């Protein structure tokens, strides 16, 4: 029997096979000690990791400082003293351990890791960010974990993990504009629901997957958490950077389920409160007045996302009653926006353009919503309290741009 | 881990996410588990903290603990006295956080046969959850995972394995 991508990737990262059975094959359900190429903590959970580490391992060194990083991205720069204190705890401890810190100016850790080459296709990577499975977008294994797990990973360079079964999602057809990678992702989420991939790895196939650029693959991979999944790999022959050829799934690999989805007639979709799987066609709630717009997050914070928005709003002003925030994923994205003129276009249209990071995607930092506030957002979750006290609706940057202009949830059009 | 646990039921629905188990706004400012316990389930069931008793059991629907990776969402319940969580299914990060913290978790459909305040008994060895109306069965956890829980969590488990 052939192997799926996650089986091959895990087999390449465990020296002893299944726990207690050296050399045993890596099959779904096996619990293995997984060797980690990279382990990280962000400002969220980072201080807890340090506390946990010091409590259990004292002042002993981490396994390998060159493969251990802090990436501050959640509350950057800190908005109050407790946040600042926690970041300083991480900084000072990192100094004593010789660990590099991507500080409050860097941007979202998972994106920085891809841009800076901290992680390559086929690697294993853990941290305190529950959307680290974004790294599936480049064919790497990424996983968010709790602080005890991460302290352990810092110390030992490994973690225990149950090999997940793999499901196959095969897309048929290619969606037409104004649909984007986000609408494609929402369609899959609608079909799978919040737990349709619970505990599973996913391999995505089809012409629509081949057509995605890195930004689009990041959008899709980031939402696998919202489907309950462990990680999702868009299987694309045209991906750049290319997938690790040694880890491509075998044609006769064993899948727990295959899901076929026709996306050729896809229409713009939106996830309404109270959860990301509550997906509806945009047309069903078009006309609902909005108070605010958030563009960014690890799901849709790439240059391509903001360039698409700029194309729509160029030369226009967003509705007078709407407060709209743009948060680039990283410094590099910010730089691209600067040099391309996208930043100026968004600024002129009335957007607040903030420094890189997670922005409004975490209750506690800029762009939070108040009680009764209706928001359209490109972020990854709309659980009650996640982005404040308001009602967050999740949609593509394109739908959000049209809605910002109109001041209400709006069906996007194809600009001629 | 005790082989049997009898406790009072707190019943909840599907997709209970970690933001309502332990609100994000406290994740930075609270590091003391006892203080975490004071905010457990604050946005889902404001009466929980005042009324929970040691050994009580949470019984819920599918996908318990979805969302953020925060370990506080396990710690706050454990510290509040929750003896076990029984759910139709668990989100995976929550699942491993619970194991690492040695909070027993049981995957079965007991939510179909309980009401709030019922007394139920989990028999970990037999793999049964006995409610006033029905007996539900569950597959035992993998041996390696059970060992982690029995040793008191990930850190004590690895210490024991390393012989120190």
- What pLDDT score was predicted for residue A8? 94
Residues A148, A341: contact at Cβ < 8 Å? Answer: no
- Test A130 with B63 for CB contact under 8 angstroms: no
Residues A379, A288 contacting (CB under 8 angstroms): no
**Domain extent for B14:** 4-161
Q: How confident is the model at residue A372 (pLDDT cuts 50, 70, 90)?
A: very high
CB contact under 8 A, B69 and A128: yes
Q: Which of A157, A229, A383, A388 to mutate to test the interface with B (most CBs of B within 10 A)?
A: A383
pLDDT band at residue A150 under the 50/70/90 scheme? very high
Query: Which tens digits make up the pLDDT trace of A41-66?
Result: 999 889 999 999 999 999 999 999 99
In degrees to the nearest 10, what's the CA dihedral of A260, A262, A267, A273? Answer: -10
For A411, counting Cβ atoms within 10 Å of its Cβ (0-12 exposed, 13-18 middle, 19+ buried), the class is middle
Residue B122: which CATH number? 3.20.19.10
DSSP SS3 for A175: coil
- For residue A324, the tally of other CB atoms under 10 A from its CB is 27
Please give, rounded to a whole number of angstroms, the shortest distance from the CA of A315 to a CA of chain B.
38
Q: Measured between beta carbons, which residues in chain B are less than 8 angstroms from residue A48?
A: 31, 71-72
Distance from CA of B119 to the nearest CA of A (A): 29
Give chain A's length.
Answer: 416
Nearest to A135 by CA among A127, A147, A332: A127
The ipTM is 0.77
Q: What is the mean pLDDT of residues A228-243?
A: 94
Chain B residues inside the 8 Å CB shell of A86: 28
Residue to test with chain A: of B19, B61, B69, most A Cβ within 10 A: B69
Which pLDDT belongs to residue A80?
Answer: 85
Question: Which fold would CATH assign to domain A166-262?
Answer: Aconitase; Domain 2 (3.40.1060)
For residue A374, count CB atoms less than 10 angstroms from its CB and return exposed for 0-12, middle for 13-18, buried for 19 or more. Answer: middle
Q: Do the beta carbons of residue B22 and residue B70 sit within 8 Å? A: yes
User: What is the number of CB-based contacts under 8 A between chain A and chain B?
Assistant: 120
Task: Give the other-Cβ count within 10 Å of A371's Cβ.
Answer: 8
Q: Provide, as residue numbers in chain B, all residues whose Cβ is less than 8 Å from the Cβ of A47.
A: 28, 31
pLDDT at B124: 87
**Do A336 and A303 touch, CB atoms closer than 8 A?**
yes
Q: Shortest CB distance from A385 goes to which of B19, B71, B100?
A: B19
> Residue B155 has what pLDDT?
81
Break chain A down into helix, strand, coil percent, rounded to 5: 35, 20, 45
- Alpha-carbon distance of A157 to A261, in angstroms, equals 39
Topology annotation, domain A270-406: Aconitase; domain 3 (3.30.499)
- Reduce the DSSP state of residue A321 to 3 states and report it: coil
Interface of A with B (CB under 8 A): 19-20, 29, 31, 44-45, 47-48, 51, 56, 75, 82-83, 86, 128-130, 144-149, 152, 156, 160, 162, 194-195, 198-199, 226, 228, 230, 275, 277, 362-364, 381, 383-386
- Mean per-residue pLDDT over chain A, rounded: 93
User: How far does B113 lie from chain A, in Å, by closest CA?
Assistant: 22
Say yes or no to pLDDT of A18 above 60: no
| Reported confidence tier of residue A388, pLDDT bands at 50, 70, 90 | confident
Alpha-carbon distance A109 to nearest alpha carbon in chain B (angstroms): 15
Residue A20 has pLDDT above 80, yes or no: no
pLDDT for the residue numbered B40: 93
Q: How far is CA A95 from CA A125, A415, B19, in A?
A: 22, 51, 32
Contacts of B144 in chain A (CB under 8 A): 19-20, 31, 160
pLDDT given at position B141: 77
pLDDT value at A169 more than 80: yes
Closest C-alpha to A215, from A299, A116, A334, A139: A299
Reported as a single tens digit per residue, the pLDDT across A171-228 is 999 999 999 999 999 999 999 999 999 999 999 999 999 999 999 999 999 999 999 9
The predicted-structure confidence for A103-128, as pLDDT tens digits, reads as follows 999 999 999 999 999 999 999 999 99
Check residues B140 and A415 and name the one with the higher pLDDT.
B140
Determine the Cα–Cα distance for residues B164 and B151; give it in Å rounded to an integer: 13
> Residue ranges per domain, chain A?
36-162, 166-262, 270-406
Contact A99, A67 (CB under 8 A): no
User: Do A36-162 and A166-262 agree at the fold level?
Assistant: no
pLDDT of residue A416: 57
Minimum CA–CA partner of B33 in chain A: A48
Q: A21 pLDDT exceeds 60?
A: no
Residues 6+ away with beta carbon under 8 Å from B15: A194, A195, A275, A277, B61, B62, B63, B66
CA A166, CA A185: separation in Å to the nearest integer?
A: 18
Q: What is the mean pLDDT of residues A3-27?
A: 77
CB contacts of A145 in chain B (<8 Å) are 69, 93, 96-97
Beta-carbon contacts of A328 under 8 Å, excluding residues fewer than 6 positions away, are A107, A296, A301, A303, A306, A334, A337, A353, A354, A355, A356
What is the spatial distance between Cα A42 and Cα A339, in angstroms, rounded to a whole number?
29
- Give the residue ranges of DSSP H helices in chain B: 18-21, 33-37, 48-51, 72-80, 92-100, 143-150, 154-161
Give the side-chain half-sphere CA count within 13 A for B81. 14
CB contacts, 8 Å: A14 with chain B: none
A36-162 falls under which CATH superfamily?
A: Aconitase, domain 3 (3.30.499.10)
Contacts of B31 in chain A (CB under 8 A): 47-48, 51
Nearest-Cα distance to chain A for B122, in Å, is 24
Q: What pLDDT score does A25 carry?
A: 66
Residues in chain A within 8 Å Cβ distance of B61: none
- Looking at the predicted structure, is the pLDDT value of residue A15 above 80? no
pLDDT (tens digit per residue) in B80-118: 999 999 999 999 889 989 998 999 999 999 999 999 999
Contact, A15 vs A35, CB < 8 A? yes
Q: Cα distance from A151 to chain B (closest Cα, Å)?
A: 10
Quote the number of domains for chain B.
1
CB-based contact (8 Å) between B146 and chain A? Answer: no
User: What is the model's pLDDT at position A16?
Assistant: 59
Q: Where are the alpha helices (DSSP H) in A204-325?
A: 207-210, 214-222, 282-285, 297-300, 303-313
Provide Rg for chain A, Cα atoms. 21
Q: How far is A23 from chain B (nearest CA, A)?
A: 17
Share of chain A above pLDDT 70, in %: 96
Helix (H, G, I), strand (E, B) or coil at B146: helix
Answer yes or no: is pLDDT of A267 > 90.
Answer: yes
Sites in chain B below the pLDDT cut of 50:
164
The answer to whether A148 contacts B62, with C-beta atoms less than 8 Å apart, is no
């Amino acid at each position: 029997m052939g192997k799926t991508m996650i089986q091959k990737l895990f087999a390449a990262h465990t020296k002893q096979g299944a726990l207690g059975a050296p050399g045993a094959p890596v099959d779904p359900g096996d619990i293995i000690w997984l060797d980690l190429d990279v382990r990280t903590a962000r400002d969220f959970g980072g201080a807890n990791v340090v506390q946990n580490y010091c409590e259990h391992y004292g002042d002993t060194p981490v396994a390998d400082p060159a493969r251990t990083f802090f990436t501050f991205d959640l509350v950057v720069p800190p908005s109050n003293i407790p946040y600042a204190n926690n970041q300083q705890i991480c900084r000072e401890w990192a100094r004593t351990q010789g660990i590099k810190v991507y500080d409050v100016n860097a941007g979202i850790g998972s994106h920085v890791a891809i841009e800076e080459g901290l992680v390559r296709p086929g690697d294993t990577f853990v941290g305190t960010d529950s959307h680290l499975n974004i790294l599936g977008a480049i064919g790497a294994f990424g996983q968010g974990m709790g602080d005890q797990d991460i302290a352990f990973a810092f110390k030992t360079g490994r973690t225990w993990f149950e090999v997940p079964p793999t499901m196959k999602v095969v897309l048929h057809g290619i969606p037409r504009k104004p649909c984007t990678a986000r609408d494609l992702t929402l369609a899959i989420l609608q079909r799978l629901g919040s737990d349709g991939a619970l505990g599973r790895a996913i391999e995505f196939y089809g012409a629509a997957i081949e057509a995605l650029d890195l930004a689009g693959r990041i959008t899709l991979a980031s939402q696998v958490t919202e489907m309950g999944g462990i990680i999702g790999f868009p299987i694309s022959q045209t991906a750049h950077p290319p997938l690790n050829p040694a880890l491509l799934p075998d044609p006769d690999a064993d899948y727990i389920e295959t899901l076929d989805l026709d996306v050729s007639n896809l229409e713009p979709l939106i996830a309404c409160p109270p959860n990301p799987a509550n997906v509806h066609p945009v047309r069903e709630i078009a006309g609902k007045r909005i108070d605010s717009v958030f563009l960014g997050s690890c799901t849709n914070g790439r240059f391509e996302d903001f360039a698409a928005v700029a194309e729509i709003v160029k030369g226009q002003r967003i509705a007078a009653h709407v407060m709209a925030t743009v948060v680039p994923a990283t410094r590099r994205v910010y730089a691209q926006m600067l040099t391309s003129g996208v930043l100026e276009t968004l600024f002129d249209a009335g957007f607040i353009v903030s420094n890189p990071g997670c922005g409004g995607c975490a209750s506690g930092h800029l762009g939070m919503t108040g009680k009764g506030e209706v928001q359209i957002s490109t972020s990854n979750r709309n659980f009650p309290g996640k982005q404040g006290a308001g009602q967050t609706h999740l949609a593509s940057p394109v739908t959000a741009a049209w809605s910002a202009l109109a001041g209400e949830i709006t069906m996007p059009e194809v600009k001629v | 881990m005790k082989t049997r646990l009898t406790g009072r039921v707190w019943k909840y629905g599907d997709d209970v996410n970690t933001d309502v188990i332990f609100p994000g706004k406290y994740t930075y400012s609270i590091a003391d588990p006892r203080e975490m316990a004071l905010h457990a389930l604050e946005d889902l069931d404001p009466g929980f903290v005042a009324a929970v008793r040691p050994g009580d059991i949470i019984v819920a629907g599918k996908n318990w603990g979805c969302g953020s990776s925060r370990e506080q969402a396990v710690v706050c319940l454990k510290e509040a006295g929750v003896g076990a969580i029984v759910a139709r299914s668990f989100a995976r990060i929550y699942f491993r956080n619970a194991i690492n913290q040695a909070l027993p978790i049981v995957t079965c459909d007991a939510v179909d046969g309980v009401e709030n305040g019922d007394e139920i008994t989990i028999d970990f060895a037999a793999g049964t959850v006995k409610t006033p109306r029905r007996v539900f069965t569950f597959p035992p956890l993998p041996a390696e995972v059970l060992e982690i829980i029995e040793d008191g969590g990930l850190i004590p488990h690895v210490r024991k394995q390393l012989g120190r």
